[in-house]
Amino acid sequence: MRFEYSPAPESRSVVRLRDSYGLFIGGSFVAGSSVFKTISPATEEVLAEVTHAGPEDVDKAVAAARQAYERVWSEMPGRERGKYLFRIARIIQERARELAVLESMDNGKPIRESRDVDVPLAAAHFFYHAGWADKLGYAGFGPSPRPLGVVGQVIPWNFPLLMLAWKVAPALACGNTVVLKPAETTPLTALLFAEICQQADLPPGVVNIVTGDGATGQAVVAHPGIDKVAFTGSTEVGKEIARACAVSGKRVTLELGGKAANVVFDDAPVDQAVEGIVNGIFFNQGHVCCAGSRLLVQESVQDEVLAALRRRMGTLRLGDPLDKNTDVGAINSRAQLDKISELVGSGEAEGAARWSPPCPLPDRGFWFPPTVFTEVSQAHRIAREEIFGPVLSVLTFRTPAEAIEKANRTPYGLSAGVWTEKGSLILWMASRLRAGVVWANTFNRFDPSSPFGGYKESGFGREGGRHGLEAYLDVVGGGDV
Ligand code: NDP
């Protein structure tokens, strides 16, 4: 049965957009070399003008971060640093609605997700790391581990505020200062976060935010005053950064792409598995590095699972990201929509069968319907390449060994899912899947205390948990755990 829903739009009035935003350097918003516009991907409306940071602006940001590192932050006792992190976490909670609405406007993701996932998790990351700030000596890295210095952080557009929290919270807890570059298409919540830093009375220069495009990111990464680079984004740019850091001796962690297998065995509860498949690939329009973009379903239950999946996909509501009923929002940019369309075209050209539920698309903005491909072979591009959109490729297997073989046949290794009633099979699979995260009978679950990161071309280093702290501490010689 299909229910009709009346529109339930979240009000935009809670957000006070400025016409123009400067760069956040040394605790103040300052002018930069040029400007660009950020738009709503759902309507193509211009939301604000944002400053493009050139090399000289990045230079100022790094200088501010260095000064704050040497004079204030690295010398401050952990219990004092922790208080600032707690304060930031509380302000994120207090301003949660404003952050969620702004995130959905700038990114295109459904308000249900920004409100219930992105913003609460961002606050949780600051709470969690606030707790570590005065306990680093007990984290297993020796009695008094030292911070690294000034950290350059470059983040993507798929979870703008959440990726900021993943990067900034551990860096600050460990005593580092930060120069962060948000993605060109989604700078607004990072700039609101800058206001939150002011509100929290964070010492000037501890967090600096330089908006801009890939060239700004490159300037941050290449700057000689940066001690460590933390990057989340495409594997292609990640490789470039790894090469640049290898010759400069900077510390680096990379969180890159993925092509996760979501493996459904014949004894899995079908309805729950279908919810997991839908969450795995249609959450955030599939703009998720750990998305379950390859469904591996056991051949004997293929028809049953696919029929249930198609029924469920028919109930997904695509449209206004600010409508509380919306399940699938807008694609983040025209460039990303073109990339998805090109890869989907290759799937059809290579002989896979494409299906989407009836799904009218809005006239303006960037949209792609939830899509599933069957009759996919391992050689097809849609089975190998990261689409980063709401597109699922279905493959089948007969035995657990074949499932492992197919799941691992990818240059990536970020995440995987296993759906079965048997605990022993879950453990057997988990120990053989070459993926940083393996979810069992669930998918896309995140927690600040749980380390996240990849193998192979999905990058290296972990974010979250005790492992994530190591990336921001000078633990050369190894920890004692
Ligand atoms: P990029 O890797 O290009 O962008 C990620 C961040 O790095 C952005 O802030 C970007 O700036 C910046 N950047 C770009 N080039 C450089 C550079 N040479 N040096 C330093 N920083 C740089 O991802 P895209 O946004 O272009 O997306 C391309 C594809 O990457 C997507 O289609 C998707 O497949 C994948 N992707 C994967 C993500 C993941 O989490 N694994 C996240 C995002 C994308 P700017 O935004 O201004 O270009």
DSSP string, 115-157: IIIIHHHHHHHHHHHHHHTT-GGGTTS-SSPEE-SEEEEE--S
CA–CA distance, 363 with 350 (Å, rounded to integer):
29
Q: What residue ranges line ligand 1, CB within 6 angstroms?
A: 154-158, 181, 183-184, 213-214, 217-218, 221, 232-234, 237, 240-241, 256-257, 289, 336, 339, 386, 388
Position in ligand 1 atom list of the atom nearest CA 163:
40
Residue 60 one-letter amino acid: K
User: pLDDT class for 124, splitting at 50, 70, 90?
Assistant: very high
User: Measuring CA to CA, how many Å separate 481 from each of 137, 365, 477, 478?
Assistant: 12, 50, 12, 9
Listed in sequence order, the residues at least 6 apart from 246 whose beta carbon sits closer than 8 Å to its beta carbon are none
pLDDT value at residue 141: 92
Q: Are 440 and 418 in contact (CB under 8 A)?
A: yes
Question: Percent of the chain beyond pLDDT 70?
Answer: 98
Q: Are 475 and 142 in contact (CB under 8 A)?
A: yes
pLDDT value at residue 480: 41
CA–CA distance, 209 with 363 (Å, rounded to integer):
35
Q: 103 C-alpha to center of ligand 1: Å? A: 18
Q: Are 347 and 393 in contact (CB under 8 A)?
A: yes
The neighbouring-strand residues paired with 36 are 50
Question: Percent of the chain beyond pLDDT 90?
Answer: 95
CA–CA distance, 246 with 252 (Å, rounded to integer):
9
Question: Is it the case that residue 254 has pLDDT exceeding 70?
Answer: yes
- pLDDT digit string (tens) for 143-197? 889 999 999 999 999 999 999 999 999 999 999 999 999 999 999 999 999 999 9
pLDDT value at residue 167: 98
Question: Is it the case that residue 241 has pLDDT exceeding 60?
Answer: yes
- pLDDT digit string (tens) for 300-313? 999 999 999 999 99
CA–CA distance, 471 with 479 (Å, rounded to integer):
12
Mean pLDDT of 454-473: 94
Residue from 96, 98, 230, 206 nearest 156 by CA:
230
Mean pLDDT of 34-52: 98
CB neighbour burial string for 343-360, b if at least 16 within 10 angstroms, e if fewer: bbeebeebebeebbbebe
Residue with token string 């602006």: 57
- pLDDT digit string (tens) for 71-110? 999 999 999 999 999 999 999 999 999 999 999 999 999 9
Q: 112 C-alpha to center of ligand 1: Å? A: 25
pLDDT value at residue 1: 63
Alpha helices, DSSP H, located in 202-299: 214-222, 235-248, 270-282
CA–CA distance, 13 with 115 (Å, rounded to integer):
16
Question: Is it the case that residue 279 has pLDDT exceeding 60?
Answer: yes
CA–CA distance, 192 with 188 (Å, rounded to integer):
6
Question: Is it the case that residue 62 has pLDDT exceeding 70?
Answer: yes
- pLDDT digit string (tens) for 227-237? 999 999 999 99
Position in ligand 1 atom list of the atom nearest CA 458:
41
User: Measuring CA to CA, how many Å separate 8 from each of 47, 322, 363?
Assistant: 22, 8, 20
Q: Are 171 and 154 in contact (CB under 8 A)?
A: no
pTM value is: 0.96
Residue with token string 């499932």: 403
Assigned token pair, 62:
């790094």
Catalytically active residues, by annotation: 255, 289
Nearest CA to ligand 1 atom 16: 214
Q: Are 292 and 440 in contact (CB under 8 A)?
A: no
Sign of CA dihedral 320, 256, 382, 415: negative
pLDDT value at residue 33: 82
User: pLDDT class for 2, splitting at 50, 70, 90?
Assistant: low
